Structure 1
Amino acid sequence: MRRTKAYEVAAAMLMSVSLLKRRIRDSVDDAALTSPELRVLSRLDRAGPATTADLARQEQITPQAMGSTVALLEKRGFVARSPDPRHGRRMLLAPTREGEEALRSGSSAIADRFTDALLAAFDDDEIEVLRAAAPLIERWAERM
């Protein structure tokens, strides 16, 4: 019974998250950060400097794929490398001021749109349920 319920929730969430992801992608202009770029900048902003390999592990992608995303962020001036003080040969990535500004402006544009949609379609109790669910969804995503 528990597995059946979990499967039903997983299937419903997959459909919902897919639609949400599509709507986000459709609403962002070409100058905006891509989803992978946004995730990397957000992770660096929240957790602090990290290596490309660390980011790849956290995002569960290959180091080569992460390297491509990092290269694009570097080209745009959004991240900078610096030597790891604990490991001389490793390089740490951190957001630049421009990267932080891009993160704030990109995130806030999407967050503003989310806010408008929440206010238009949900009452206060429903918004509270979604607020409470957000950390659970994040924890679930990290375990996949």
Structure 2
Amino acid sequence: MTPTVFVFERLAALIHQLVRDDAARHGLLPVHMQVLGYLAQANRYSDLSIAVADYLGITRGTVSQTLTVLERKGLITRTPDDRHGKRIHLTLSAAGEAVLNASWSQRLDQALATAGGDAQAFGNDLRGVLSALQRLNGKQAFGQCRQCAHFLGDEGDYRCGLTGEALAVEQTIKICREWTSPDTRMSAADRLSIHR
């Protein structure tokens, strides 16, 4: 094990422990915290139960049980999609957002800010490692809408090239299950023709 792999292993173990601690503090299980954290960053194509299962690599049954608990505790809400019959969008309630406000991810942001160095370059390096590891293991990549091959637009006029739908600014900074590496760009006309 190289020193870098050792650091990643220790970070993963520490984050896992912090998630467990945060969950216990709120009477939740770690998977509940993971789902809340995911939903806080998911765009409208990804705030679905199937996307939660894909992102976390867990079964649909586990997701269903988890969502039931989170809804019963008032941490999430379910909203039917007005355009797609059976589709149900999941969003954090104010209580769900409050649970995340003092979570491990906020503390990690603070640690990164105090670590110094070029945060942008470090983030790019980590994204590269994540992408490579996902490819090597056949895992689905989720990424920020604006950094997707399907993202189209100029300031104030954003669209998903995959669906052809307009995107609100706040959706473009969230993660999407349809994310595709910009390295695989195809023309907007080609992307739209796939979905017609």
- TM-score band by shorter chain is 0.5 to 0.7
- C-alpha contact (below 8 Å) 1:48/1:94 kept by paired residues: no
Distance 1:141 1:34 in 2: 27
Q: Tell me which residue corresponds to 1:79.
A: 76
> In structure 2, what residue type is equivalent to 1:83?
P
Query: Compared with structure 1, are the counterparts of its residues 87 and 136 closer, same or farther at alpha carbon in structure 2 (3 Å cutoff)?
Result: same
Figure out how many residues of one structure are paired with residues of the other and give that number: 133
Which of 23-32 and 71-80 deviates more?
23-32
Q: Tell me which residue corresponds to 2:30.
A: 35
Q: Tell me which residue corresponds to 1:65.
A: 62
Tell me which of 33, 39, 47 is aligned to 2:42: 47
Q: Secondary structure at the match of 2:25?
A: coil
**Uncovered stretches (5+) of structure 2, i.e. residues with no partner:** 140-196
Query: Compared with structure 1, are the counterparts of its residues 90 and 29 closer, same or farther at alpha carbon in structure 2 (3 Å cutoff)?
Result: closer
TM-score norm. by structure 1 comes to: 0.65
**Uncovered stretches (5+) of structure 1, i.e. residues with no partner:** 1-6
Q: RMSD value over aligned CA atoms?
A: 3.6
Percent identity of the aligned residues?
19
> In structure 2, what residue type is equivalent to 1:71?
T
- C-alpha contact (below 8 Å) 2:20/2:30 kept by paired residues: no
Q: Secondary structure at the match of 1:30?
A: helix
Q: Tell me which residue corresponds to 1:20.
A: 14
> In structure 1, what residue type is equivalent to 2:86?
R
Report how far residue 38 of structure 1 moved.
2.4
Distance 1:105 1:37 in 2: 15
Judging by fraction of residues, say which structure has more helix: 1
Q: Secondary structure at the match of 2:24?
A: coil
Distance 1:142 1:12 in 2: 19
- C-alpha contact (below 8 Å) 1:80/1:96 kept by paired residues: yes
